[in-house]
Amino acid sequence: MVEIAGVRSGLVQGTMTAAGTLTGEIDLSNWSVAGLISDANLINSTLTFQVSPFSDLDTVNAARYVDVKKDDGSNLAVGPVSGAMAVRSDLVVQALAGYRYVKIKTAVAQTNGVKFYLPVKA
C-alpha cells in the first residue's frame, strides 16, 4: 500500500430498499469516485447509473436524474454482477467524475435491501 501525503479518502454509501431497483440519492459532495462495492444481497443484475446536478431535496429542481451514457449512446453498465463484489472500472470512475448526485440502478428488483459503497478521494 502506498500512501500519498495530503490525499484524503472516504467511503460514501447508497442504499436500495427491498423490492427496489434504484438507490436513494448518493451525495458525492466534493469527492471523486474511485470504485464501487456492493454487499452480499445483490441479486444477479446489470448496474447502471443516474446523475443530477440537483438534490432530491431541492423542491424546485428535484427529480432531474438522467442515465449516464457511453459515447455510443448506450447506458454505462457494469455486469451482470451478483453478491458481494468490488469494481474499479476507469469507465465508471470517469463517467461519474464531476457529478454531485448519483443513483445506482439495477435491471432486476432486489429481494432484500442492498448497500453500495463508493470509495472516494478528495
Q: Rounded CA gap, 56 and 21, in Å? A: 17
In the prediction, which pLDDT does 20 show? 96
Selection from 86, 76, 78 nearest residue 40 by Cα: 86
**Mean pLDDT value across residues 17-31:** 94
pLDDT tens digits along 38-67: 999 999 999 999 999 999 888 887 768 999
In the prediction, which pLDDT does 6 show? 60
Q: How many helices (H) and strands (E) does the chain have?
A: 1, 10
106 vs 90 pLDDT, higher one: 106
